[in-house]
Amino acid sequence: MHWFESQLAQLDTLADDYLAARRQPAADIVNVSEATRLKRAAFIDAVQSVVDKVVKIEGVSACAAYHDGLILAQSAEASNMDADAFGAIIQETIRAAQHGETSLGLGEIEQIVIVGAVNKLAMLSVGPIILCISSPKGVNLASVLSQAK
């Protein structure tokens, strides 16, 4: 498993832990509330950490995480990008892909890549969020992400 795969696997585990904590019976609501809050914080902190690491990889121009088309985590370097426009495109793209999920029998959408004449954008579904990575068109994203440490 290469670096980026291991990061995604870790995020998936944390997301699963959080979702499991949320499903606990609410007999002891105070303890359930605290446990859920801590698991959610662990997941979100890990997402922010991955975003911060990915954006430092040579060839990657921006990285951010979105929830329902609204920005959830972004790197300090990417603060000048139009996060709202990015989010809107992501939301539209995910919605279009979800039509294929049922009509083409694709299963749950895991990744979407849009390649433009200038740049490309990869969207990866991780638990309740979408992780977005952008790079110039010529960059082999899979390769740079797998070689990162």
Build a one-symbol-per-residue string for 32-61: x at contacts with another protein by CB under 8 A, - elsewhere.
Answer: xxx-xx--xx--x-----------------
CB 91 within 8 A of CB 68: yes
Within 59-118, the residues that bind another protein by CB under 8 A are: 65-74, 87
Q: Does 26 bind another protein (CB under 8 A)?
A: yes
Q: Quick one: which segment of 9-17, 23-31, 92-100, 135-143 binds another protein (CB under 8 A)? A: 23-31
List of residues 6+ apart from 42 with CB closer than 8 A: 14, 17, 18
Residue 71 or 148 with smaller CB distance to another protein: 71
Residue 88 or 148 with smaller CB distance to another protein: 88
Q: Does 23 bind another protein (CB under 8 A)?
A: no
- Strands of the 111-115 sheet, one edge to the other: 70-74, 62-67, 129-136, 119-126, 111-115
Alpha-carbon span 130 to 87, nearest angstrom: 10
